[in-house]
Structure 1
Amino acid sequence: MATINSLTSTSSSSNAYGSQSKAIGGLVSGLDTDTLIDGMTIATRSKIAKQKQSKTLLSWKTDAYRAISDKLVSFAQKYTSYTSSTNLTSESFYKKSVVSATGTNNKYVSVSGTAATGERLSLLGVKQLAKDASFTTTDTLSNNIIKTGAINYGDSDSCTITGKNLTVKYGSESYTLTMPEKEGGGVYTSAAEVAEGLTKAMEGVELSNGKKLSEVMSVTANGETLSFKNIDGVGNGLEITGGNADLMKILGITSGSSSLVNKSITDEGVDAVAAIDAEDLHANVSFAEKMKGKSLTFEYNGTKKTITFDDETKLDESKFMEYIQDELNSAFGKGRIQLTQDGEKRIQFETTVPGGGVDQSSILYITSGSTGVMGDGSVLGIRNGSSNKVNLDSTLAESGIKDVASVNLENGTEYEITINGESIKFTYEENKTTLRTIMSAINANEKAGVKISYQANSDSFSITSTQKGASGSVEIGKNGVLTDFEKLLFGKRNDDGTISNTINGNTVDGQDAIILVDFDGEGGAEAMEISRGTNSFSLNGLNIAVNGTFGYEKDELNELQYVEGTEAVKFDASVDTDKIVTAIKSMIDDYNELVEASNSAITEKRNRTYAPLTDEQKADMSESEIASWEEKAKSGMLYGDSDVTSLTNDLRYIFMNMGSNGFSLSDIGITVSSNWQENGKISLDETKLKSALAEDADSVKALFTEASTEGKLTTGGIMTRMKALTDKYAATTGATKGILVEKAGNSKSPTSLLSNRLQKQMDDIDKIISRLEDKLKTERTRYQKQFTQLETLMQKLNSQSSWLYDYSS
């Protein structure tokens, strides 16, 4: 038998009119209680739906107001804010900021900066230009050749693991290391040497965290077995994931069915699965086998060519040099690089002039090559980066500098170079000291006051004083005797392959620029000669640079004298016309957009056929249908709105009754449209505006910036009026904001988003909806109780009827 509480069954949902119940209905009476209750509460639910629609309309109207106020705020920030680079209300925006040099000699002078007093300044002549003291070697320094090592064209013992790769995974990243040539050349002979080679390879692999691979993994030899260890110390995973199959087998990383691949390398260390057999580390290989498929990359005067040795028929002594010569001729032209071979089978590369003769001006590099082809102990024995010019990073013996052998340099001995009386000392190490280390020591010595560089095209050293003009000097050596290092860098080369004690080069003394300047124009003080250590200097707020001399000639005593009547270089300041025109054009475009937006807002009628959708209506529609409906429903939100109408009228006043010092709007190219349909849009003739700026920039400025005499929109300059308008309708600061911000808020004034008139109306509606929903809940509860009582009574009546029937029977 059903209990009283089970006589009806309900569940809650909502529709357009508010909350409602869904139930099975009266189990005893058979009545559809939900439908009945919905009908009995329809008045309250209708009121809730109406209030929600009213709130939606207010929300849409808020968005419409903000769309217009956003444009006003953006306009104000762009054209009336003191932090904007296009602030058209600022008089400084129209100042004379472009300075130019005038006169027939203006080609010798360039100028920039501001001209507060610069217009009275003139340069009557430039007597001499400033020069920094300098020294440049004149004899070429290099031997102009690249030479290979002695080439073995026969069979030879070759390393089987050089140039082959291993892949190591550290964390989530994978890295490749390449087995290098053995230090000093030759083949690897033991696990210990292989471990050293792997360590060297890892030192050249940089990880994503900035560390080197050698800083997170160590490789050592345990007898003839390699041992790998994670030395990172931060818990990142480390493992060998792949590589050249032959290499992994020789190193014992794989052996039969055993493998170290993809196994975690721990901080306790992991041994390879097999020992290294020294016999596997080398093999007897022919020259052709060593060179087959390998490559060299040449760079000649900036143009690169990679030669890949893929024709095995030419990889022997009789054809190999011809093979390279043909490739270089094809790449760079015949007769430009000449190959020869000496008795020790060393190939020599020399730049030449087609038709004969050495070409000292061209630069040839061998920039890179396959592993095993370049480097110590390689097939060709050429260093990466080898050049026919001086190599700053090679040891002195291999640097390519001429006659280096004639300078008796002893390993471990301290040498010095004296420049400007300052002794620069360093210890010579034959396997370490390079020309770059010598040059770096010179440049680092501030007391010497010079910078040295090597010029590859002229094949010379150049020293320049760091002291400007006449203050600087470059004096090499002391007491007339050059030290060994001074000879090597700056000594004159003799024909017999020695270096003399004579300086090889030209010295230029430093001198100041001397300029004849008239500071205050005609009728003022006499012009005066000024000296400056550089050719660029500042005068009266102007940044001036001179690049040539004028106004002076030598007299009979060979002394420079000023030539009276020389046309002076004067300085003319003007406004930056392009900057101003661009800003005004942009402002007019934005103004017209404001006119269009505000007039469209008040003239677009609302389609009342499309009211805001109720929840029940939305439930029966697709998203695209809802979007299409609401697009129509949102139209005309501000139709005939008094505030926006007032804005459109005020916009028209901005360009009314404008004029200043004889200039009108039409004089500067601004025209208000006479077409009533355009609602006062304006157009700009850029040519007229540029002409007006050139004729009278101050009057143009006044048209835009003149102060308002009455504080009204109809007085003052264009931008003065526009600032008053944007403040009136869209001010985002102050106790009282702009009209549209007070009404609907704006994102540029965060507090206004929660405190504006439309938001207050929506808050009031929320309160009404809350009260109506409480009322609806009360009504539904009351009606539900009444139907429950009815069901209870019907149950009793049915029970009594059943009892009477049974009794009578």
Structure 2
Amino acid sequence: MAISSIASALNTKLRLSGMSSGLDTDAIVKQLLLADQAKIDKVLQKKQISQWKTDAYRDITASLKTFYNTYFDTLSAKNLRSAGALTCYTASYASSTAADFIGITPGASAKPGTYTITDIKVATSASNRAAGDPAPSPVTADIVTGNTIDAAAVISKDNDNNRFVFTLNGKTVNITLDDGALGDLSALETKLKAEFDKAYGPGKVTVSTADGKLSFKAALSTDVFSVGTASNTGYSEIFGAKPTAGAPLTLTGWNNRFDLKIGDTTHTIELPTTTYSTAGELITALNNAVKDPSKFGASADITFEEKDGKVVYKSSQTVSVSAAKTNTNVALGLAALPDNPLNLSNKINLNEKIKNIDFNDGSSLPVASGYFTINGKQITFDASTMSINDIMKKVNSDSSLNATISYDLTTNSFSIKSNRTGVTSTLDVSGDLMQVLGLECSGKTGTDAEITVNGQKIVRSDNNFSYNGITYDIKKATSDPITVTVAGDTTKAFDTIKEFVTEYNKLIEKLNGKIGEKRYSDYVPLTDEQKSAMSEDQINKWEEKAKSGLLYGDSVISSALSRMRSALYSSVAGAGMNLSSIGITTSSFYQDKGQLVIDETKLKNALANNSEAVVNLFTNSSDVTYFEAMDDQALKNKRYEESGLANRISDIIQDAIRTSTNKDGKKGSLLEKAGMVGDRSEFTNILYKEISDYDKSVTELNRKLTEKETALYKKFTAMESALSKMNSQSSWLTQQFGGGSN
């Protein structure tokens, strides 16, 4: 091959240029592309800034969310929108056991004094069982009984009828019978008793072969047991073994089968019970079994091959391999359900299809499908496709039924009750399914709660209610008098308000710090090339400067701060006081930027002498909800004027971090800006769009750079090729004129 041809090939494929010119082509091309790379680096730096801003905004969002959850969430014990967090009274019982019967929570308007409570009666729901009724009958038979045992049956692992599994209280064991004719049933009974005693301890499971049927019974009513079909271990052994002549794989009736699913079709594949000394022998057996006409056929879309001594499979379709169940052990009278492997239990299987359940009279539901009625509403069901769990979910999720069905594992029985309490709570249930579940009833009603307080009888439909500033929570009935003393105690309210002020100050200090943080515009994000020339410490110090001031003067945060300061010092309608009235004022130091200070003596006096007004200052609420006011400025103004300080601050924070949308489809202002992880806004915010646009720009700039780079190399390659030809011609001319001879 001529030198020019070699140079051309190297320049084109490997870019090894400069062979003829002596130029460092790579260095020259890199220099020529510096401006293009600089454009890419600039866009990547902008993208990094947007990513850092996203993190900074989400950090602010997290701080606001934590503050909100602590002081304004309805589930928080410190919820300042609730009078309970600012209660200035405590209740003490004369008896240590009184709280077991009734709970007493004084509110802001409670009256100090001693209260004697008598004749406590609990509000009840209408149900199918009245209090004191005997325990219901089990919905299924307590003893699992199979079909008649075939004493003449030959038991063998090759017949795949010598095993079943037994599970007691979560512990599962494989029960394996000896090969041979079943024969004497008393010997079978002895054998099984020994197996169960060994697995669970003496007497935990009783076995009987009376009347030619195999029965089991647990020692305790709280025990849960089931008899199930054993699994063939072929799945793990056939595809997990590395068979060799020295360590062959022997397949028996225990380990020769597995379930194979190709696409939407599933078949049980069974290999001959013999010894396999190589993976190749297994592959041959697998091909024969899979391509059997009764299975997937000759055109089966699956191939088997050897890899690292094991058998592996490939297919253009979705393939799954799983364990196959053994044949139903009918020899022992253990029959499978129509559509399922053997699964018999002493408790009802809530997930089993209703048609497969034998109820306590030994019969199935008399209809395959139908309906039942609860409180006048018909509910349809299909016994061939639905389970008891499906029925329970259907009833319990339908609020119009006003009823809840539950199952008690210990008694193996069901109950149903109204979701409301009181004499107006009613329950009427009918239908074949409800009858076999023991739920049928009619004309059932609940009872009202009753207490007598200092001689005054109070009747309510619920067990939790408020009266005259005190919330009562009735737990158990009693006729014995209970004495409660309500006394003033400002400690809890004082500590809650003081902690709120402390955390508020921390929050606005952080927010003020972010919007006032100095920006170092000379410190831009580092490129990968720049980082490669720096130490980790140098990179960290540089990026600390580069990240500083990213939220400087941010309007979203500034607006939230301004609104919170204004909300704390605007008057609250009907409260009769403001923050300064209870000793909370703004710091006189300019550098504190709106932080609050507390005159503790003044706050304690306000709580002790005017606690109801303090509670109103924080907790007053408007008839207008936050969501009603969200898209209506007039309603928003009305809500603001009528709300206490807690609801005002809560609304301001919600405006910034809420995950719900307004009529324009907008979420909280901070989420619109940077989103929140785990919420849809994580990928629909302004900064995410910026980052996506930067990614598109980088992709396009990289494409152009690659094209330019390729074009430059082609030019240098052409130059090198031309120079190579010139050198060849010059060498030839020199030789013709005797230029190299002596």
Q: Which has the higher helix share?
A: 2
TM-score range, shorter chain: 0.3 to 0.5
Q: Normalising by structure 1, what TM-score?
A: 0.43
